[in-house]
Structure 1
Amino acid sequence: MKATVDVYGVRVNQARVIRAMTVTAVMEALGWKHSRLNRLERSATTALPVEDFEQLVAVLRFPPKFFTTAPTSRVHPTDLLFRAPRSITATEREYLAQFAALTGEFLDELHTRVKLPPVRLPVLDSETPVDQAAEAVRKAWGLDTDGPVDYLTHEIERNGVAIVMRRLLTSSSRRILGDEDSTGKLDKHLGYSVRVGEFNTRPLIVVRQSHSWERTRWTLAHEVGHLALHASGSVNEEREEQASRFASELLAPAAVLADEVSRAPSLAELLPVKARWGISLGALLKHLHTSKLLSDQRFEALRRQLYTRTNTETDTTWGRVEPGWNDRDVERPRLISKWLEMAFSATSAMMLAPYDLMWPQDMLEDFTVGQRTGVAVNAARAVADPAPAVAMTGTHSNVLTLPVGRRRG
């Protein structure tokens, strides 16, 4: 019997970060010195005595296979495409990076079993005007350039961008990131995006769960803007604002709004516009203003009304909970749950237990939380997707057919 186990230092660091444990906490639990744990995390591999390895596995609560498998997806906090607020700590940023890295490896595992959709998201120069950038994305996705995107989440996933929902309290770390959710409350950040996988070619969006369909759609569009325009990373305040303008333009092209919105609209007149395009009044007002479709004076007047007018349904201001807040269901991703069905015949993370995967059960739950299951949205208008047939493990194959939004005619 082998007396030692070769352990990858990066894996020890990843597991510790995911578990939200400090070096001191792990050291005390193991009865080690700081220097030994630090050396282990910084080393490529270390031969640990079997007894020490078993202790490490027990303390960090990751399967033994995780520590002995070479890491392939590397994500540094600076790779994350979002402008971190001052309130977020370096430890939290590291957690977000390592969570993305492990998600990337999970996606690679799915891809080896059943090919994920090819990535069809243009990488654009950051100097590209947002209207041109949004039009380029719509064209790449085969959508009309002048119509609403009915189910944005589906279009994102259909074109190879994976979406993971992040709940307030994660199973794997018991870490709380952001404030308790409410439709109008701001939190530390709503989402982030990054390219993951062995070759950093799979775009990933991690978005926090929300009860607001307006917030969810706009956040997803915002992250698409980062992925398309900011492939180099280094998101600053200017680029964050650019992604925001892109999000509104992707959801509601200003050139089309110019024919639908009067030069001095009321909030009541904008409600049907909100409903048609699937964009909040707050984002719509700013979009109209920055697109020169709303004067400074009218914009300020409408914004004041937004935050003073009472929504009698919710007893809050319109700016906090807008009319129409419950007119749509909150969009939820489907890609990961669908691929679990095809690759493992699994409809939940619990059903993955027999497959001897390297991720702990609670982390698999974090990968799959918030995913839709069963038939895809609006199957009545489903058409054959251009993705090719995908071979299943075993003796049969399936073709994934997903619905699409309005396509260019």
Structure 2
Amino acid sequence: MDLLFATRFKSARLRSGLSLQDVASRLGNKITRQALHRYEKGEVTPNSEMLGLLSEIMAVRPDYFFRNTRVELGALEYRKLQHLSARDENRIVEQTREYLSRYLELEEILGISGEFINPLKGLGPVATLSDVSAAADLLREKWGLGANAVVNIAGFLEDMHIKVVEIDVDTHFNGMQTWANEGLPVVAYNKNLQGKPDRIRFTLLHELGHLLLQFGDVKDKQKEVLCHQFAGALLMPESVLKEKLGPHRSKLSLHELGNLKRQYGISMQAIVMRAIECKIVSEHYGRQFFKMIEEMGWKSREPVAYEGIERSYRFDRLLFRALAEGQVSMSKAAALKNMKLAEFHEQYTAIA
């Protein structure tokens, strides 16, 4: 029995969001669902022609089915979990597992290893806004951020040994976090948020809160609130907010909120929420502001856009390093990138 192929075949199928019948249909019923089921049980391994067809359907390289880098995922926690179907959850899990398997194999080739140490370890449980604000300030101090705006949070988190995964799934999923192989922190976000980099930033830091914080005796709904507050405090520390807006205000200008959004990569709505939390404006003003936002249709797309880029380039950087040092061939580099050789070669030579 070829259990490695069986496991990888099922993973690729789930990653693509396909049932066995879907796969059979896309193959033009050249093979039955029952025969595909035998692949998945490890009873039969396809020939090279069928392997090529399966690779095309599932958008993976043929060598994907025989890669044995181990990726064990711990419990996954999602935002908006109640909207996820079993199929979408499987797609998220397997996309995460597949990307990490390539990533960890590349790091192994380069001899890179690094243990993640939680900078908030020993802080104690959080249960209030004051607790998470203090945790955010401590994290900025530990990571040497000072009070500055953080450019490209996805890239920064990877520099801090946290794997960032981009998930391609058309659903209400925003973000997810877990631990891989028992000690590797992982945060993920929906690729379809790319047009809204401020949303990606907030989502990643929200998930970071779930990873790093210990929670007191609070319910799941309150945990979500605390992680929201943690993300807001990381993006816009209280000292910075009071310096920019002043300690007390009766109202705020959309222009100044827009300027802060452009500089700090935090939505105008999140800035106002922070201003309420820091008692710069009243809750009454906040209710009026959010009502106006809803009436203007700005809740999902605000009138001012943050133009920053949220994406980690570490994987590609390591891949080109391995290629330049002769530690991988062009073919192997293409496999690690999950691209066809001709496609990868065209991209590589275009950069060169």
Partner of 2:226: 242
Distance 1:199 1:9, change over 3 A: farther
| 2:188 corresponds to 1:205 | yes
- TM normalised by structure 2 equals 0.75
Question: What's the counterpart of residue 72 of structure 1?
Answer: 70
CA deviation after TM superposition for structure 1 residue 226, in Å: 2.4
Contact 2:120 2:212 (C-alpha < 8 Å) held by counterparts = yes
> Aligned match of 1:322 in 273, 281, 302?
302
Q: How far apart in 1 are the matches of 2:3 and 2:155? A: 42
| Structure 1 residue 263: Cα displacement | 3.3
How far residue 18 of structure 1 moved from its aligned partner, in angstroms, is 1.9
Q: Is residue 322 of structure 2 the alignment partner of residue 343 of structure 1?
A: yes
Correspondence for 1:112? 108
Paired residue for 2:213? 229
Q: TM-score, length-normalised on structure 1? A: 0.66
Q: Does 1:295 align with 2:282?
A: yes
How do 1:324-403 and structure 2 match up within 5 A? 324-325=304-305, 328-345=307-324, 352-355=330-333, 357=335, 360-361=338-339
2:53 aligns with 58
What are structure 2's unaligned runs of at least 5 residues? none
| C-alpha separation in 2, matches of 1:87 and 1:219 | 17
Residue in structure 1 matched with residue 149 of structure 2 by the alignment: 148
Q: What is the rounded CA distance, in whole Å, between the counterparts of 1:56 and 1:126 in structure 2?
A: 51
For residue 193 of structure 1, give the secondary structure of its aligned residue in structure 2: strand
Q: Over aligned residue pairs, what C-alpha RMSD do you find?
A: 3.7
Structure 2 CA distance for aligned equivalents of residues 324 and 27 of structure 1: 47
Amino acid at match of 2:50: Q
CA contact (8 A) 1:163 1:207 kept: no
Corresponding residue for residue 292 of structure 2 = 305
For the Cα contact (< 8 Å) 1:82–1:192, is it kept in 2?
yes
Q: Distance in 1 between matches of 2:334 and 2:198?
A: 39
CA distance in 2, matches of 1:275, 1:64: 44
Note closer, same or farther for the CA distance 1:358–1:153 as it changes in structure 2 (3 Å cut): closer
Instruction: State the SS of the aligned residue for 1:195.
Output: strand
Deviation at 1:251, TM superposition (A): 0.5
Aligned positions, number: 322
In 2, the alpha carbon distance for the partners of 1:123 and 1:9 equals 40
Would the aligned equivalents of 1:75 and 1:101 in 2 still touch at CA under 8 Å? yes
The question of 1:280 aligning with 2:267 is answered: yes
Q: Distance in 1 between matches of 2:196 and 2:309?
A: 6
Q: 1:83 to 1:334 in 2, by over 3 A?
A: same
The C-alpha deviation readout for 1:79-135, integer Å capped at 9, x for no partner, is 333233433211001110011111111111121133266645436566362112212
More helix per residue: 2
**2:79 & 2:336 partners in 1: Cα distance?**
31
Q: Distance in 2 between matches of 1:120 and 1:214?
A: 27
Counterpart of 1:97, as a letter, is: V
3-state SS of the aligned residue for 2:177? strand
In the alignment, residue 224 of structure 1 is paired with which amino acid?
Answer: L
Which runs of 5 or more residues in structure 1 are unaligned?
171-175, 179-187, 310-316, 375-409
**Contact in 1 for aligned 2:71/2:101 (Cα 8 Å):** yes
Structure 1 residues 107, 301: closer, same or farther in 2, change over 3 A? same
**Could you tell me how far apart the structure 2 residues matched to 1:230 and 1:31 are?**
51
Partner of 1:266: 252
Aligned partners of 1:344, 1:238: CA distance in 2, in Å?
47
The answer to whether the 8 Å contact 1:289/1:295 transfers is yes
Q: 1:122 to 1:230 in 2, by over 3 A?
A: same
